[in-house]
Amino acid sequence: MNCLRGATAVLLALVVPAFVSSGSALAGAATASPAAAAACAAIDASNEASGLPSTFPDSGCNWIGRVIRDNGIGVTVPGAGFTAGAEALYVSGSQTLNVTHGADGTITVRRAASTSVSPAIILAACSDTADALLGFRVSGGYSYRYNSAAVPSNVSGTAVGAISAGFTNLAANFTDCSGITKHPAPVPHYLGTTTTFANVFTNYTCAAADGQNVVSWLGSPGPLALTCWVASGGILVQSDLAINHGDSWFTGAVPAGCSNSFDLQGVVTHEAGHAYGLAHTPGDPVTHQNQTMNSALSGCTTKYQTLGTGDLNGMIALY
């Protein structure tokens, strides 16, 4: 979908109405009873997760295709029996938004943001055992494509290799820690380039699943990177990764004079963790700053290419 592309405020304003009019989002409201239609209208007036109860019934108000947003990211409500999630990584922290559409029609919204407590101890990667899971695993295999449109010029020749290495680091349990029995996940398969974009609107809202896993670049403002996922019955259905081309990226060694520039391979290793079912490391992001799945990643380091003990514990639990 070309409407997923671009970074301007004008496009941003057009995206959601275009999606609603072409989808089924308002179909339920049009046929609902007056009372149900009124309830739908009230909900539509505030699709910010902060203005919604954490659990509510779908009855009389078709939520499939509607967007729920929270602090700058969003999720498109999936069909009954599916959960859709957005995992956003910012320079200063992270944010999670999950929407589960139960088989009985109940909608459950879960929001989480990283919080920091000061002062905090800092754990070494191989001494930190903390991990958390998203509630699904990859089964059968994971194949993805890459769209190089808008790739930052300084990594245009190396990005695809760094992205591929990131997925491999995660799935193969690449680590410097010893004494841990690895649990490799299904091998990621890179299928080549595509002109399709990651299933993410320009305002960093995850769109409805389109059947393919894509990595592509998206503009500012927004998180450093956003993984969107859809799962059902504890198995991943699809994930997409949008990487912010407005941030500074490097591949290879940390560049001289580095300042607020991020290792593409390391960040993709983290994002691959989400695609394979890992949540952000629970707890203080300063304490857990050496875990690849930490809820905040530092710039000017390549340390996130290798998994810490907590990251590995998550993989061991899943695979």
Q: How far is the CB of 194 from Zn ion (least distance, A)?
A: 23
What is each CA distance from 187 to 59, 173, 231, 273, in whole angstroms? Answer: 41, 11, 19, 13
In the complex with Zn ion, which residue's Cβ is closer, 89 or 275?
A: 89
How many whole angstroms separate alpha carbon 88 and alpha carbon 215?
14
Please give the Cα distance from 147 to 195 (Å, whole number): 6
Q: Contact positions toward Zn ion, by CB under 5 A? A: 87, 89
Which residue in the shown chain puts its C-beta closest to Zn ion?
Answer: 89
Token couple for 123:
């754990």
Task: Count the neighbouring beta carbons within 10 Å of the beta carbon of residue 114.
Answer: 21
Nearer to Zn ion, 61 or 272 (CB): 272
* Amino acid letter, residue 300: C
- Smallest gap from Cβ 274 to Zn ion, in A, equals 6
In whole angstroms, the minimum distance from the beta carbon of 53 to Zn ion comes to: 26
Residues β-bridged to residue 174: none
Phi, psi of 94, deg, nearest 5: -140, 165
d(CA 47, CA 67): 7
- Nearest residue (CB) to Zn ion, 89 versus 130: 89
Asked whether the beta carbons of 117 and 297 are under 8 A apart, the reply is: no
> What is the C-alpha separation between 197 and 145, in angstroms, rounded?
9
CA–CA dist 270, 225 (Å, integer): 10
Shortest Å distance, C-beta 96 to Zn ion:
8
Residue 89 or 132: which CB sits closer to Zn ion? 89
Distance CA 181, CA 245 (A): 37
CB 103 to Zn ion: min, Å:
28
Least distance between Zn ion and beta carbon 41 (Å)? 35
Residue closer to Zn ion (CB basis): 216 or 291: 291
Q: With the CA atoms of 95, 77, 145 and 224 taken in that order, what torsion angle do they form, in degrees rounded to the nearest 10? A: -20
- Residue 65 vs 266, nearer CB to Zn ion: 266
Residue 277 CB, shortest distance to Zn ion, in Å, is 12
Beta carbon nearer to Zn ion, 3 or 91: 91
- Nearest-approach distance from CB 279 to Zn ion, in angstroms: 8
Residue pointed to by tokens 């695609």: 275
> At residue 40, what are phi and psi to the nearest 5 degrees?
-60, -40
Which C-beta is closer to Zn ion: that of 62 or that of 199?
Answer: 199
Residues in the chain: 319
